Amino acid sequence: MIECDFSLDTFPAEGINIILVGVGGQGTLVAGKLLGTVAASLGLDAKVSEVHGMAQRGGSVVTYVRLGREVFSPTVEPGTADYIVAFEELEALRWAPLLKKGGSIFVNTVKTMPLPVSMGQAKYPEDIAEQLRKASGEDAEIVIMDAIAMAREAGSTRAVNTVMLGAMAARCILPPSAFANAIDIVFKEKLRALNHKAFALGVSVIE
């Protein structure tokens, strides 16, 4: 697995802003809890906040995570997100404008039909990849990944969130090794092994 050096002294003075977006049931909130646990173990201040939507299955869920030596507000303003982790394609497109110039967005290739689409009142966009590039900027890094398949390989499709965090962690904003302890803290014992595997599979997307 990728090894990343970490020091509070060299952590960006302005902090790191992460947005986790998806629909209810995809583990967005658990992913935020994992990030908060990792940050605390490294001595970072963390503000984790669900700021939009409802967590019931199928509803849009957005969680802001702000990490730094000292963080005062959980809000991520438009154009200031260093990373967007999207568990669903349309949610990636919806929140792409919050990505900062040169930021990274990780997108799971799954489509969840919103109610208007299911009722035939609207169409799901067919050119999301093209629209995503326009919305996030030409200099953005866009990582498209089949996190469902990797989660299934790990042992459960519910581990999509851990797969996605693995891919983001491989960019060394936080050392991947720190996630191992966080997984053991956040998940019950019977779920730990598959989430460790899911995280490693996510890291392998970038390696």
**Is the confidence at residue 186, as pLDDT, over 90?**
yes
Instruction: Please give the pLDDT value at position 55.
Output: 46
Quote the radius of gyration of the chain (alpha carbons, Å).
16
Long-range Cβ contacts of 129-135 (<8 Å, 24+ apart): 131/93, 132/92, 132/93, 132/96, 132/105, 132/107, 135/93, 135/96, 135/97
100 phi/psi in degrees, rounded to 5? -80, 165
Taking only the tens place, the pLDDT of each residue in 44-100 is: 999 999 865 554 555 678 999 999 999 988 889 999 999 999 998 888 988 999 999
Instruction: Please give the pLDDT value at position 122.
Output: 66
Query: 201: exposed, middle or buried (C-beta count within 10 Å: 0-12, 13-18, 19+)?
Result: buried
**Is the confidence at residue 130, as pLDDT, over 90?**
no
Q: Calculate the alpha carbon distances from 153 to 45, 117, 134 in Å.
A: 34, 30, 33
Helix, strand and coil percent figures for the chain, each rounded to 5: 40, 25, 35
Return d(Cα 133, Cα 88) in angstroms, integer.
16
Note the CATH architecture for domain 16-114+125-202.
Answer: 3-Layer(aba) Sandwich (3.40)
pLDDT band at 31 (very low <50, low <70, confident <90, very high): very high
